[in-house]
Amino acid sequence: MDTAPGRGTRPHPVGTLLRDWRGRRAMSQADLAFDAGISIKHLSFVETGKAVASREILLQLAAALGLSLRDRNALLEAGGFARQYGERDLSAPEIAGARRAIDLLLRRHEPFPAIVTDRQWNVIEANRAATRLMTMLLGPLRMQRPLNHMRMFLAPDELRPFVENWPQLAAALLLRARHEAMAAPLDLALQSTWRELLKLPDVSAPQLIESETPGPLCEVRLRKGDVSIGLIGTVLTLGTPQDVTLQELRIEMFMPADSATEATLSALAAQDA
């Protein structure tokens, strides 16, 4: 049996989560039940608290909803089960292989900038090219304090004064930030960071258009004195990770937008050799 009788008809926390996620995915009970391979009646009973879903059924529902590993853990805990997916520090030996792959990717991207961010867009690793560029723009003292990728471009006292196309870049970054925040409503840390970004001067949430999603590429034009640098940024994620931390990592890779930028970045790397 996949279910056991629930106590009364009071809505179960699992039911609340499932209804909320169905609404976000614009899925009916029939849609979700079909995709998860269970009956509509069974799903209805789980959502109303008349039945308690097994661990396996909850994982099937989470997969059908396309939930992140963090949200799958939350659904399991709401159902009274232990977490399925670990959340390890990047220094943990269990994910040493993934860490080596990330380090290699950052090194091979030289002399072009690349950084690694966590789910709150905090910069947790940067290659030498990224460190060089940010040090040139912000100064060595600023580099001794933590960096946040979103705040770095949106705050008036960070990179913003050096961004020539700031309105366009800010719009693209805010669209992405809101998209990621809306996709993780249970992540209180991420929600807090998103609200803090909206408090920055001249920053406001973009108009919500349901069909609009962040583009795969983002251009940034930087200038300090006579040095002009154009970059095309893209975001990479790790494929099919089984760890919460690894799934939430974002590898931000920046390519030169023109031959002049490529030459400038190569020259800066040569000076630092």
pLDDT(117) > 90: yes
Calculate the CA 30 to chain-centre distance. Answer: 30
Q: Work out the pLDDT band at 165, boundaries 50, 70, 90.
A: very high
Helix, strand and coil in the chain, % to nearest 5:
50, 15, 35
* Adjacent-strand bridge partners of 115: 126, 252
Q: How confident is the model at residue 90 (pLDDT cuts 50, 70, 90)?
A: confident
Gap between the Cα atoms of 263 and 18, Å rounded: 52
Which residue is listed with tokens 């608290």?
A: 49
Q: According to the model, what pLDDT value does residue 94 have?
A: 85
The pLDDT tens digits for 236-258 are 988 777 899 999 999 999 999 99
Runs of H (alpha helix) within the chain: 13-25, 29-36, 40-48, 55-65, 69-78, 96-108, 128-138, 149-154, 166-182, 188-198, 244-248, 259-272
26 Rama class: left (phi>0) / alpha (psi -120 to 50) / beta? left
C-beta separation of 241 from 259 below 8 A: no
55-64, 149-158, 201-210: least confidently modelled range? 201-210
Tell me the average pLDDT across 3-9.
Answer: 41
Q: How far apart are CA 242 and CA 263, in angstroms?
A: 40
Residue 209 has a pLDDT of 61
**pLDDT of 8:** 40
Is residue 107 within 8 Å of 84, Cβ to Cβ? no
Task: Give the mean pLDDT of 8-17.
Answer: 67
Closest C-alpha to 159, from 127, 119, 200: 200
